[in-house]
A and B are shown apart, each in its own frame.
Chain A
Amino acid sequence: MAALRAEKISKSFRGLFKKKEVLHQVSLAIEEGEVFGILGPNGAGKTTLMSIFSTLIRPDEGRLEVLGLNALRDTHAIRERINISSGNPNFPWSLTVRENLNHSAMLYGLYGRDLARSVEGAISTFDLEAHVDSKFETLSTGLKQRVSLAKSILNRPEILFLDEPTSGLDPDMAMKTRALIHRIYREEEMTVVLTTHYMPEAEELCDRIAFLREGRLIALGTPGELKKALKIGDRIFIEYEGEIDPISLRIIPGVMDVRPSAGRVEVVFDRSGGALGRIIRAFDRAEILEMGLEKPDLEDVFLELAR
């Protein structure tokens, strides 16, 4: 069952003199228990889409169902069952970490022992014990991000929206956060929707990915499907002495691109057709000095799509 289903979502913001379309006819479905990534360059509309999904703002057009409820009508019921951690988060500055979490838990209708347990659990999950009495305004960017993440799990949401969840975190905490997202996904059966600029993170975490560019959904699928659809092949680079004919490489079935330079050639190819052996054999009359093989990653997909 789809945890979230969006059909032809469009959104424009009115400026002083003109209207700017931020999202155009975006349609997608996110399955229950899935970790779903929304990627795209700056200004692609990721945060706007996330804000619409989390019912913070309303779309101008389109249909949106969240947890089987109409997100344009049943917003209050949806908000009870979801939560969001915003990128570049802010909370009332003069409240301490604990007070901010208490306040947020109250906003979600938690009380008594449930409230205390949720707040303590969130503090412990994100290693905030040493900072509970610090005012929000005194925290570093990374700590603010951790407070925001802690807040986002207070009500044990069925869908967790994470906008740039590891931005500002040090590598250790970023790794811990990714591990936590993994754990939530597996143990709590929570659906996670996240945006990120960090491609290895998206590749590590996401079952499926939607790419946005200039407000339009331009690709949707698993990382593997996207690489295949975009014909982003493996890359082999070979440094050699002697002569080879680049054309002999180009005509090998499965070779997608050949980039020769002095004493070095880079070949992009589809590994599935047995092209690798033929590429190596093309160097029969040359001496291979060095060779390396790179598998494509999501960064390549991103660069291809953002072009």
Chain B
Amino acid sequence: MSWRGELNKLLSATYKNWIISKRNVFTVFELIFWPFISLLSIGLLTRFLEVADDMVAFVLVGAIALSILQISQIDVAYILLFDLWSKSIKQTFVAPVRGYHLVLGAMLFGVARGSAVFIILAAASRYLFGFDFLAGGGATVLIFLAGIFVTAASIGMVVCISILLFGQRADVAAWSLSGIMMLVSGVYYPVSILPWPLQILSKSIPLTYFLEFYRSAYGYGSHQVLLGMALALLYFAASLLILNLAIERARTTGMMLRLSE
């Protein structure tokens, strides 16, 4: 198979996500409505509580990061979710595609949508709350976004793995996993206020490190972004490996057929 053939296998997931998203009115909600409502309500809450500017920055960074994470992870989860809802999973898995084709293709679309959310929310936070999201510099933004995208891809893959192992009902993971991230990775508060078992858990989540990294550019604490990136890449590789194993397991258990019925 030529490199263009391989590239097109990868882009097949991008193509499908793009077509479905552009035709789905819910995309507008995913891309603009919910992220904007989240940013606005959190921002207004900081106004009401009359918190200091650096604390506003702290909270807004978390709100924006969570929105990007949510939209990027759902795009990877859509690899299976769209097929699951259309009962067309076997059309994908009877074709000569591998897990990485699907993940990287969907991730590409997730990066595009996540970047769009970032631009919209960064502009809104500057206009509405006077917070300059680019003050930390372009490199900081790129590392921050890259970390979120890689973490989001791992979460999306965990959703896919859950569906392949446990069946259709596991699609609830698509919306619950990012909620757990919100709780333990210091999205709206520093992880130091968490009970110690959750603090230990937070140290195992890459998002914690990317949030600390970005906030450090605004003078809020120190960071260990390299550790965060190493963890994110480790989870990405492990998730991809487990996804491939889950696909093979679904072929053995017959889940592949049941998900198409």
Chain A residues with a Cβ under 8 A of chain B:
11, 13-14, 47-48, 51, 54-58, 60, 76-77, 79-80, 83-84, 86, 89-95, 99, 102-104, 106-112, 115, 136, 151
Tell me whether A94 and B251 are in contact (CB under 8 A): no
B192 — which chain A residues lie within 8 A by C-beta?
Answer: none
Flag whether B254 is at the interface (Cβ < 8 A).
yes
The CA-CA distance from A154 to B85 in the complex, in Å, is: 24
The CA-CA distance from A84 to B15 in the complex, in Å, is: 22
What is the CB-to-nearest-CB distance from B105 to chain A, in angstroms, rounded to a whole number?
Answer: 9
Tell me whether B253 and A90 are in contact (CB under 8 A): no
Tell me whether B98 and A151 are in contact (CB under 8 A): no
Q: Which of B11, B85, B96 has the most CB of A within 10 A?
A: B96
B7 — which chain A residues lie within 8 A by C-beta?
Answer: 111
**B:238-256 near A, CB below 8 Å:** 248, 251-254, 256
Closest to B92 in A: A107
The CA-CA distance from A60 to B251 in the complex, in Å, is: 10
Tell me whether A55 and B12 are in contact (CB under 8 A): no
Tell me whether B16 and A95 are in contact (CB under 8 A): yes
B254 — which chain A residues lie within 8 A by C-beta?
Answer: 11, 13, 48, 57
Tell me whether A51 and B15 are in contact (CB under 8 A): no
Tell me whether A110 and B8 are in contact (CB under 8 A): yes
The CA-CA distance from A83 to B94 in the complex, in Å, is: 8
The CA-CA distance from A92 to B13 in the complex, in Å, is: 12
Tell me whether B96 and A80 are in contact (CB under 8 A): yes
- Given A56-B256, A91-B91, A115-B8, check contact A80 B1 (CB 8 Å): yes
Closest to A80 in B: B96
Contact with A along B1-20 (1 / 0, CB 8 A): 11011111101100110011
Tell me whether A56 and B8 are in contact (CB under 8 A): no
Closest to A56 in B: B94
Tell me whether A79 and B96 are in contact (CB under 8 A): yes
- Given A13-B253, A56-B256, check contact A92 B9 (CB 8 Å): no
Tell me whether B5 and A110 are in contact (CB under 8 A): yes
B92 — which chain A residues lie within 8 A by C-beta?
Answer: 107
The CA-CA distance from A63 to B92 in the complex, in Å, is: 24
- The 8 Å CB contact of A106, one of B15, B248, B257, is B15
- Given A56-B256, A92-B16, A95-B16, check contact A106 B9 (CB 8 Å): yes
- Given A58-B248, A76-B96, A80-B96, check contact A103 B257 (CB 8 Å): no
Tell me whether A79 and B91 are in contact (CB under 8 A): no
B19 — which chain A residues lie within 8 A by C-beta?
Answer: 94-95, 99, 103
The CA-CA distance from A55 to B94 in the complex, in Å, is: 7
Which 5 A-B pairs give the minimum distances between C-beta atoms?
Answer: A109-B5, A106-B12, A107-B95, A79-B96, A90-B87
The CA-CA distance from A54 to B12 in the complex, in Å, is: 21
**B:203-261 near A, CB below 8 Å:** 248, 251-254, 256-257, 260
Contact with A along B69-102 (1 / 0, CB 8 A): 0000000000000110111101111111110000
Tell me whether B97 and A107 are in contact (CB under 8 A): yes
Closest to A76 in B: B96
Q: Which of A77, A79, A90, A102 has the most CB of B within 10 A?
A: A90
- Given A57-B251, A110-B8, check contact A94 B95 (CB 8 Å): no
- Given A93-B86, A103-B15, check contact A58 B251 (CB 8 Å): yes
B252 — which chain A residues lie within 8 A by C-beta?
Answer: 57-58, 60
- The 8 Å CB contact of A92, one of B5, B6, B88, is B88
B87 — which chain A residues lie within 8 A by C-beta?
Answer: 90
The CA-CA distance from A110 to B97 in the complex, in Å, is: 12
Pull 19 A–B residue pairs with CB atoms less than 8 Å apart, ordered by A. A11-B254, A13-B254, A48-B254, A51-B256, A51-B257, A55-B94, A56-B94, A57-B257, A76-B98, A80-B96, A92-B20, A92-B83, A92-B86, A104-B91, A104-B95, A106-B11, A107-B9, A108-B9, A112-B4
Closest to B102 in A: A107
- Given A57-B252, A102-B15, A108-B96, check contact A95 B90 (CB 8 Å): no
Closest to A108 in B: B95
Closest to B258 in A: A13
What is the CB-to-nearest-CB distance from A70 to chain B, in angstroms, rounded to a whole number?
Answer: 15
What is the CB-to-nearest-CB distance from B11 to chain A, in angstroms, rounded to a whole number?
Answer: 6
What is the CB-to-nearest-CB distance from A71 to chain B, in angstroms, rounded to a whole number?
Answer: 11
Contact with A along B176-210 (1 / 0, CB 8 A): 00000000000000000000000000000000000
Flag whether B23 is at the interface (Cβ < 8 A).
yes
Tell me whether A54 and B1 are in contact (CB under 8 A): no
Tell me whether A106 and B8 are in contact (CB under 8 A): yes
The CA-CA distance from A95 to B85 in the complex, in Å, is: 13
Tell me whether A111 and B4 are in contact (CB under 8 A): yes
Closest to A112 in B: B4
- The 8 Å CB contact of B86, one of A51, A80, A84, A90, is A90
Tell me whether B90 and A109 are in contact (CB under 8 A): no
A57 — which chain B residues lie within 8 A by C-beta?
Answer: 251-252, 254, 256-257
Extra contacts, 10 of them, besides A14-B253, A109-B8, A111-B5 (Cβ < 8 A), are: A55-B94, A56-B94, A77-B96, A90-B86, A95-B20, A99-B15, A106-B9, A109-B96, A111-B8, A151-B91
